[in-house]
Chain A
Amino acid sequence: MLKLIYRRLLMMVVMLLGLLAIMFVVANVAPGDPARLAAGPDATRDMVETIRVERGLDKPLPQRFVIYLGSVVTGDLGTSIHTGRAVLHDLAIYFPATLELVLFSIGLAIVLGIPLGVIAAVNHNQLADHIIRIFAVSGVAMPMFWLGLMLQWYLALELNWFPLGGQLDLMSDPPTRITGMLTVDALLTGNFAIFLGAVAHLFLPALSLSFPALASIIRVNRAEMLETLNRDYITNARAQGIGPLRIVAAYALKNALLPTLAMIGLRFGWMLGGTVLVEGVFDWPGVGLYAAKAAISSDFEPIMAVTLVLGASFMLANLLIDLTYAALDPRVRAQV
Chain B
Amino acid sequence: MTDVTFSERHESSIREYRRMAATFRRSSSAMFGLVIVLVFLLMALIGPWIAPFPEDALGAVHLDNKLQPPSAAHWFGTDEVGLDIFSRVLIGARVSLQIGLIVTGVAMLIGVPLGMLAGMSGGWMRETIMRVTDIFLSIPGLILAIAIVGALGPGIINAMIALSLVWWPGYVRLVEAKTLSLRNETYVDAARALGAPMHRILFVHILPNCLSPIVVKASMDMGMAILGAASLGFLGLGAQPPYPEWGAMISIGRNYMPDWWWYSFFPGLAIYLTVLGFNLLGDGLRDVLDPRQRS
Q: Which residues of A contact B (CB under 8 A)?
A: 15, 18-19, 22-23, 26-27, 30-32, 137-138, 140-146, 149-150, 152-153, 157-158, 219-220, 223, 269-270, 272-274, 276-277, 280-281, 291-292, 294-296, 298-300, 303-304, 306-307, 310-311, 314-315
| Size category, B interface | 35 or more
Interface of A: prevailing SS: helix
Within 8 Å CB of B275, what residues of A? 140-143
A307 touches B237 (CB 8 A): no
Chain B 250-271 interface mask (CB, 8 Å, partner A; 1/0): 1000100110010011001001
Interface membership of B235, Cβ < 8 A: yes
The 24 sampled A-B contact pairs (Cβ below 8 Å) are: A15-B134, A15-B135, A30-B153, A32-B152, A137-B29, A137-B279, A141-B275, A142-B275, A143-B227, A143-B268, A143-B271, A143-B275, A145-B234, A270-B142, A272-B140, A274-B142, A276-B143, A276-B146, A281-B254, A295-B146, A295-B147, A296-B236, A306-B147, A314-B140
CB of A314 within 8 A of CB of B139, answer yes
When distances are taken between beta carbons in the complex, the residues of chain A under 8 Å from B273 are: 141
How far apart sit A30 and B223, CA to CA, in the bound complex (Å)? 28
A298–B235 touching, CB < 8 Å: no
Q: Is the interface of B mostly helix, strand, loop or mixed?
A: helix
Which of B136, B150, B283 has the largest count of A CB atoms less than 10 A from its CB?
B150
- By a beta-carbon cutoff of 8 Å, the part of chain B in contact with chain A is 29, 131-132, 134-136, 138-144, 146-154, 165, 223, 227, 230-231, 234-237, 247, 250, 254, 257-258, 261, 264-265, 268, 271-273, 275-276, 279-280, 283, 295
Q: In the complex, are the beta carbons of B268 and A149 less than 8 A apart?
A: yes
Q: Given the interface contacts A19-B135, A23-B147, A310-B140, does A220 sit within 8 Å of B235 by beta carbon? A: no
Q: Is the CB of B276 within 8 A of A141?
A: yes
Pair B131/A145 contact, Cβ less than 8 Å: no
Beyond A30-B153, A143-B230, A306-B143, 7 additional pairs, beta carbon < 8 A: A142-B275, A145-B234, A145-B247, A276-B146, A276-B235, A281-B254, A310-B139
| Across-interface contacts of B247 in A (CB, < 8 A) | 143, 145
CA–CA, A26 to B149, complex, Å?
10
How distant is the Cα of A277 from the Cα of B146 in the complex, in angstroms? 11
Q: Report B-chain residues with C-beta under 8 Å of the C-beta of A306.
A: 143, 147
A219-B295, A295-B149, A298-B150 as given contacts; A273 in contact with B227, CB under 8 Å: no
Chain B residue contacts of A142, Cβ below 8 A? 272, 275
Q: What are the 9 tightest A-B residue pairs by CB atom distance, in nearest-first order?
A: A273-B140, A146-B268, A295-B150, A273-B142, A141-B276, A141-B275, A18-B135, A311-B139, A30-B151
Contact of B150 (CB < 8 Å), options: A152, A219, A300: A300
Residue B147 contacts which of A149, A158, A220, A304 (CB distance < 8 angstroms)?
Answer: A304
Knowing A15-B138, A153-B261, the reply to whether A295 touches B237 (Cβ < 8 A) is yes
**Closest residue on chain B to residue A158 by CB atoms:** B258
Contacts of A272 in B (CB 8 A): 140, 143
A304, B147: Cα distance in complex, Å? 7
Known: A141-B275, A277-B234. A146 touches B143 (CB 8 A): no
- B265 → A minimal CB distance (Å): 7
